[in-house]
Amino acid sequence: MIYNAKDGLDEIDRILMASTGLDMTPWIYAIEGDLVLHVQQFFEAQWLTVMLTHFYVAGFMFICYVSVFYFAYFDDRWMADRVTLTIAWVYILAVPFYLFFNVRVTGAYIPEMETLAYSLNPEISDWFRRIDPFTNCMPSLHIGIPYAVWLCIKRFDHDERWALYRKIVFIYVLLTVFTIIYLGIHWIIDIAGGMIVAFIAVNLA
């Protein structure tokens, strides 16, 4: 349902941008400057780009699906409900930003910055262009969803049954922070925005 809705929302977003010229990227850049560029240039290596591109794509899908079905499989309905509601709220809270607070990917705005993941090879580039308008950076759901899952487990797992999975998700969040900066996708403010949305979503769930 979420992925079907995404196509419609992306189309609305393109119409709004074309008619209003909404683009908050200059404001973000005025605050951050070239900080993310320095990170990319310092660490850039072909092997790291390949590894983190696959991590960026596969890891996010894994966290989204596993975090919903993992608890249900082990019949922890309380946690399954909390996590599912939390993820749903993250998406709901993010939609207004994606429609009315457009922020372009760092690699499409900072002249020296490269969108390493999007240009890794023609197949991956084509796939990204078909599913991503490259203007919905704020907030980062690659941080918002896994961080929300981590907060959800931390808050509602009273008997520490899911302590190991919580630690795995936390490590994933840390790696993702570096990944989305390095690959030329997100601003640091996007990451903070994702964490704030996650916090609100957990409270609503």
Output the pTM of the full model: 0.86
Other C-beta atoms closer than 10 Å to the C-beta of 52 total 23
Do 174 and 119 form a contact (C-beta atoms < 8 A)? no
> Taking all residues of the chain, what is their mean pLDDT, rounded to a whole number?
85
Locus of tokens 């189309």 = 11
Tokens of 60: 């996010």
pLDDT band at 13 (very low <50, low <70, confident <90, very high): low
Neighbour-count burial for 133-149, b at 16+ CB within 10 Å, e otherwise: bbbbbbbbbbbbbbbbb
48-62, 113-127, 162-176: range with highest mean pLDDT: 162-176
pLDDT per residue over 113-137, tens digit each?
988 888 777 777 676 666 666 678 8
DSSP labels, 5-72: HHHHHHHHHHHHHHHH----HHHHHHHHTTHHHHHHHHH--HHHHHHHHHHHHHHHHHHHHHHHHHHH
pLDDT band at 6 (very low <50, low <70, confident <90, very high): low
